[in-house]
Amino acid sequence: MNAGSTPARVRAAGAVLWRRDDAGTVEVAVVHRPHYGDWSLPKGKLDAGETTPVAAAREVAEETGFDAVLGRFLTRVEYEVRTRGGQAPKTVDYFGAEAVGGHFVPNHEVDRLRWLSPAAAESVLDYPADRGVLREFLALPARLTTLLLVRHAKAGKRDEWNGDDDLRPLSDAGLRQAEAVRELVRPFRPGPVFAAPRLRCVQTVHGVAEELGTDVQHEQLLSEEGYWPEPETGIARLLGIVAEGGTPLVCSQGGVIPDVVARLAERDGVPLPSTKNGTVASKKGSVWLLSFHPGSGWEGRQPEQPPTLAAADYFASPLPDPVTTTH
């Protein structure tokens, strides 16, 4: 490292791994690391080219042996660490993660794991930052409904395409972005898969649907032409998709996504990050991770109580890229 240069940031990701006991009470996992002699939350450094969701899920599996489904983004912790070149900044991005299988086997990184009530876990964790992450996890219900809202990947310039614009395909760069989207969303276990009926939207999430052995369902109300005549109808359809369950993945267009996210956030009081010109971010190939309180009494497309937005987190394009979050 040259004199006066800024040391490279160390990036890591982790999770509050949780489950319910036989009585239905939430328990969280804390791990003991023999090398440091501490109790902490599972976490670790990103591998080259990894996004934080992929790294968080991988680290949970490697350190705890549990298979987990990621939920909402919790927080980012920042501190200084010692490196060969001196001190360097480190960031750790944390997610909620529900254990859905597996079992703990002691390994060289973690020799003990304990499932504890949140209160007991907070008393065991050695670091104030970890206790802060746990409190952020407890600020909302452990299980929310996740919606992954994707803007289609790059499809070349519209004025250079001579055919029907609905049939404009992804460019080579767009195909790489689509693959990056597939890798990024996998830890959230997406499905079902929806897209505006534009080839570029369908292509962006086709790999996800193919991996699930299902088809991409067309949603005209979430295309630019279908949404803008009656935006409230499009919002109602999106909430209907949320209420139908699963972890829906929806691919739409840049003329729709900012308005959808802004309307939901304003309705439910969730602040959002914005670009310099005051618009909601929505780059090609980007993903909004939207977490909802589930609704109730759903009949057809008219709920007694529709789902409400609880948190919104944005993964910018090109991927991988740091996450910008707000709650």
Q: Higher model confidence: residue 252 or residue 84? A: 252
Both tokens of 29, joined, read 């996992």
Mean pLDDT of 123-130: 97
Residue 3 lies in a domain: no
Which residue bears the tokens 């956030």? Answer: 265
Tell whether 111 and 245 lie within a shared domain: no
Closest CA to 10 of 107, 79, 103: 79
Burial class (CB in 10 A: 0-12, 13-18, 19+), 311: buried
pLDDT at 192 over 50: yes
Domain count, the chain: 2
Average pLDDT, the chain: 90
Buried/exposed code over 252-281 (b: 16+ C-beta within 10 A; e: otherwise): bbeebbbbbbebbbeebebebeeeeeeebb
Whole-model pTM: value is: 0.91
Last residue of a domain, one of 91, 121, 138: 138
Tell whether 176 and 125 lie within a shared domain: no
CATH number of the domain where residue 23 is located = 3.90.79.10
Tell whether 123 and 197 lie within a shared domain: no
Confidence of residue 321 (pLDDT cuts 50, 70, 90): very low
Tell whether 153 and 123 lie within a shared domain: no
pLDDT of residue 275: 62
| Residue 153, SS3 per DSSP | coil
CA triplet 320, 326, 327: central angle to 5 degrees? 135
Residue 2 lies in a domain: no
Tell whether 117 and 175 lie within a shared domain: no
Last residue of a domain, one of 103, 118, 138: 138
Residue 5 lies in a domain: no
Q: How far apart are CA 218 and CA 203, in angstroms?
A: 12
Tell whether 259 and 295 lie within a shared domain: yes
Last residue of a domain, one of 108, 138, 168: 138
Tell whether 128 and 155 lie within a shared domain: no
The parent domain of residue 78 ranges over 10-138
Both tokens of 280, joined, read 């909601």
Pairing between β-strand 249-252 and β-strand 145-151 as defined by DSSP bridges: parallel
Tell whether 107 and 128 lie within a shared domain: yes
Tell whether 123 and 263 lie within a shared domain: no
